Structure 1
Amino acid sequence: MAMKNARAAEGLELTRFILVWSSLSPVFVLWAIRGVDAIEDAYWIPICVLLFLLPTLILWFILRQARKAENTKTIHISSAKDQREHLLTYLFAMLIPLFDANTDDMRDLTAVSLAFIFVMFLFWHMRLHYMNLFFAMWGYRIFTVEAKIGTIEKDRTRDRFVTYAVISRRHFIPDDDALTGYRLGGRVLFDKATDD
């Protein structure tokens, strides 16, 4: 029963999926500019703009609700790393091939859309998070943080860890430190610290 409640308290994995979606959303801007022959611009451009903006709006709404409810969690960090080291891989392996894919007819567009969904699923499943464009413009970074599992002293002596995605204004998150953040769900935290 206690395990079930602990799992429910972490929230839905949907938040991590939205974080992955938001990190891949610049593809929709590129697709809107490029256009496709199969769909008229009057429909295509608004759809792309909506798919670009929607994940950020959802994340902002979730954050607003967490702040309003003062829904926070403190974790004890074992290690933290910035995802910037994977940014070039992300850009060249994901965005450019998806933009460059042939989308002239409906069959090509369907294949590219399914490939995009498959990539999103892989990123979500492998816990690969990158920065949302709007959050990055506001000075936020995303860190992958390993925290010791458990809230009692007996659990903290074990070498068992859980991974969090932490959105923060800090440039560096030190190891062996405590971090308090707003729970966005799915082990995604929004750091309460304003800067380092």
Structure 2
Amino acid sequence: MDETYFTLACLVLFLAPTLALWAFWSRSVAKNTVRTLRVVKAEDPKDHILTYLFAMLIPLFQSNVDDKRQLSVAIVAFIMVMFLFWHMRLHYMNFVFALFGYSIFTVKADAGADTLGPKPTDTWVIISRRSAISDGEMLTGYRLGGLVLADKAK
């Protein structure tokens, strides 16, 4: 396989999630799709970082993609990592956003009287520049899709 294609594929796989997250965020800001939650319990899921690092290190293993068998192994490893990210809801983790000071929090939200809102058992993911989120705090953010919010607080 030509190294140019490999480099291009790596670049696309690195940039595509960042551009997608930025596009979801921009669309949510433009449409002012906000959601306010009362935080029941907030956690800083540092244990997810280990999984994230594991997934980031997998591409560094020695693999000869010119051989069909080795290419198959690399594709299976990639699919396993993607499944792991999706199953553990780590699709919101992003290296570029981390460089700009954003952190990830998981938050159990109170449904209150809002029957269309989150259930008490729902866990929301908050992308924020805060260093911590307090239990009982009201939090407003842009809804990026699913149960992911980008904190409006500066």
TM-score (norm 2): 0.85
Query: Could you tell me which of 52, 61, 76 is aligned with 2:23?
Result: 61
Change (3 A) 1:180 1:103: farther
Where 1:143 maps in the other structure, the secondary structure is strand
- Supply the RMSD in Å over aligned alpha carbons: 2.4
**What are the within-5 Å matches in structure 2 for residues 85-104 of structure 1?**
85-91=47-53, 93-104=54-65
- Provide the rounded CA distance (Å) in 2 between the counterparts of 1:130 and 1:99: 22
Question: 5+ unaligned residues in a row in structure 2: which ranges?
Answer: none
Give the 4+ runs in structure 1 shifted more than 4 A. 153-156
1:191 aligns with 2:143: no
Structure 1 portions without partners, runs of 5+: 1-38
Per-residue CA deviation, residues 17-42 of structure 1 (Å, 9 max, x unaligned), is xxxxxxxxxxxxxxxxxxxxxx1112
Say whether residues 1:162 and 2:122 are aligned partners: yes
Stretch of structure 1 that moved more, 121-130 or 40-49? 121-130
Aligned residues: 152
Counterpart residue number, 1:83: 45
Q: Distance in 2 between matches of 1:53 and 1:187?
A: 23
User: 2:113 is matched with which residue?
Assistant: 152
- SS of the residue 2:89 aligns to: coil
> In the alignment, which residue of structure 2 is the partner of 1:132?
94
**Higher helix proportion, which one?**
1
Q: Distance between the aligned counterparts of 2:91 and 2:36, measured in 1?
A: 21
